[in-house]
């Protein structure tokens, strides 16, 4: 990630079409059992080329979208752990294996402090 969607989400799915990375999927299309719209951490680019994360820009529910750690090699173990816990379901490619942060790092917003990410603070715009 990235950003993640919390249980404050009302499943309006307004964010799905706004994502430039096609990282967001509805409950029915999610790669794991979830009650809420899901962000694929292996795809989220934190909208680094935009002034604000586009999902948050359209979300009607304050606090539904929060920060998670950068999807980079430094956080490889973190994401693989979250994957094992069933919080994420990172894509597994037939030939290339799991699209881990080590293998497929993503851009992230350097301006977001690590403690805000660790605390899963809401993404504010
Ligand atoms: S921050 Fe941007 S890339 Fe990430 S899920 Fe939201 S809209 Fe998609
Ligand atoms: S826009 Fe907000 S409330 Fe609607 S599905 Fe996305 S995260 Fe959930």
CATH entry 3.30.70.20 includes domain 3-118: yes
- DSSP helix/strand/coil, 120: coil
Query: Using one digit for the tens of pLDDT, what is the confidence trace for 9-62?
Result: 999 999 999 999 999 999 999 999 999 999 999 999 999 999 999 999 999 999
Query: Using one digit for the tens of pLDDT, what is the confidence trace for 93-123?
Result: 999 999 999 999 999 999 999 999 999 999 9
Ligand 2 closest atom vs CA 64: 7
Least Cα distance to 16 among 1, 37, 41 occurs for: 37
Pocket of ligand 1 (CB under 6 A): 3, 18-21, 23-24, 39, 44-47, 53-55
Compute the CA torsion angle 6, 11, 16, 22 (nearest 10 deg).
50
Question: How far, in Å, are 55, 67, 114 from residue 17 at the CA level?
Answer: 9, 20, 28
* Helix H or strand E segment including 81: helix 76-84
């Amino acid at each position: 990630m990235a950003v993640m969607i919390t249980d404050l989400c009302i499943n309006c799915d307004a964010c799905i079409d706004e994502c430039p990375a096609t990282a967001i999927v509805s409950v029915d299309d999610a790669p794991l059992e979830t009650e809420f719209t899901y962000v694929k951490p292996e795809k989220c680019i934190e909208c680094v080329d935009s002034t604000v994360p586009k999902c948050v820009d359209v979300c009607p529910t304050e606090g539904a979208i929060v920060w998670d750690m950068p999807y980079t090699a430094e956080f490889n173990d973190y994401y693989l752990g979250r994957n094992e816990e069933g919080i994420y379901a990172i894509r597994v490619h037939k030939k290339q294996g799991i699209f881990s942060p080590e293998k497929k790092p993503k851009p992230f917003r350097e301006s977001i402090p690590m403690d805000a990410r660790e605390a899963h603070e809401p993404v504010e715009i």
